[in-house]
Structures are given as C-alpha cells and as structure tokens.
Amino acid sequence: MIRINLLPVRTTKRQETVRSQLILGGVGAAAIVILLVMLHAVMIARVASAESDVRELQTEVDRMKAIAAQAEQAEKLKIDLQTKLNVIKRLKANRAGPVRMLDELAQATPDKLSLTSLDQKKDTLKFGGIAVSNEVISQFLSNLEQSDYFEDVYLNSIEQDERNGVQVKVFSVSARLVVPGVDDEVPEPAKR
C-alpha cells in the first residue's frame, strides 16, 4: 500500500489562511486608520469654521458696541438739548409773565371794585381791595378763575367798613399764579 503524506499541504493551507487573515486584518486596520484620519480632518475643518464664525461674530459685536455707544452719546446730547430748550422756554415765559399777569388782573377787575394791595411770594398772590357789594367781589373771583394766569382762587375774608360815609366791603383774596407756557414743557426723555 501506498501512503501519501498530506502534511505539507495542510501546513501550506494553514499558512495561506494565516496570511490571508493577516492581510485582511492589515487592510481592516488600514481602513480604520484612514477613517480616523478623515474624521480628524473633518473635525479640524469644523473647528476652523467655528473659529472663523466666532471671529466674524466678535467683529459684529464690536461694531454693534460702537453703534450703541454712538446712540447713547446721541441720547445724552438730546437730553442736554431738551433741558436747555426747557430753560429757554421758561425764561421767555417768565419774562413776559408779570406784565401779562397785571394785564389779566386789570381785565378781571370790575368797575365798582378797587384793589388796594398786591403781594406775591413765589407763585402765591394775595389781593386786598374794596368793593361796593358782594356781587362785585363774586364777579371778580369768577373773572380770576376764568383767566389762564390764576388758579386756586380763594376768598379769604369779607368785612363791612365805612369809608367817607359810604358802606363798602373790604376783602382779601389769594390765588396761585400760573404762567402759561412754563408748565407745558416737553418732558425729558427717560434715562437708561
């Protein structure tokens, strides 16, 4: 009987199997390395893109800060100008105020009434005078209340007196002086 030795064939097949597995493992490892390198390159590109976006946004923020500073400066200037305009308006109104107040007082005074005193402390006025009747005093008070220059008109007292043989009413009135145009100021813008 003839015997055939198959051992070298098995060893060769094993070597080929090991070789093919090593080649397959090497190809797999190379594929994983290539995949990792590509993933790393994508991540670096994303980081670079994000850094570029951050720089652009920071530039935009800096530009907006400059615009906000200009707007704040303009608002301060507007408030300052409004304050100056209000002062000028108040000065103009106060300049003509006393003359207009006396004119309004003269127009409000009826024929049978005579003012004997006038006292002003800031915006409070006190009138003293004589009249022939209570109705004339009432008409005087109504005329003062209708005027734009007088508010809070109050009759303080009325007393009967005799002057040169004639019965007269001695009265006292208080009122608050209002100069039109001074209280109509434009309100100042609210500060931030």
Which pLDDT tens digit goes with each residue over 116-150? 998 888 778 898 999 998 999 999 999 988 888 88
In sequence order, the β-bridge partners of residue 166 are 163
Low-confidence ranges of the chain (pLDDT < 50): 185-189, 192
pLDDT (0 to 100) of residue 37: 95
Q: Which residues contact 179 (CB under 8 A, 6 or more apart)?
A: 93, 94, 97, 100, 101, 149
State the pLDDT at residue 94.
Answer: 67
CA 147 to chain centre: 35
Residue 126 pairs in a beta bridge with 119, 174
Sign, Cα dihedral of 167, 172, 178, 179: positive
Q: How many CB atoms are closer than 10 A to CB 110? A: 16
| Residues facing 66 on adjacent strands | none
pLDDT digits (tens, 9 = 90+) for 153-162: 999 999 998 8
Give the pLDDT of residue 97.
Answer: 66
**DSSP class of residue 109?**
S
SS3 186: coil
pLDDT at position 185, please?
47
Residue 42's pLDDT is 95
**The model's pTM:** 0.49
The residues with which 93 forms a beta bridge, in sequence order, are none
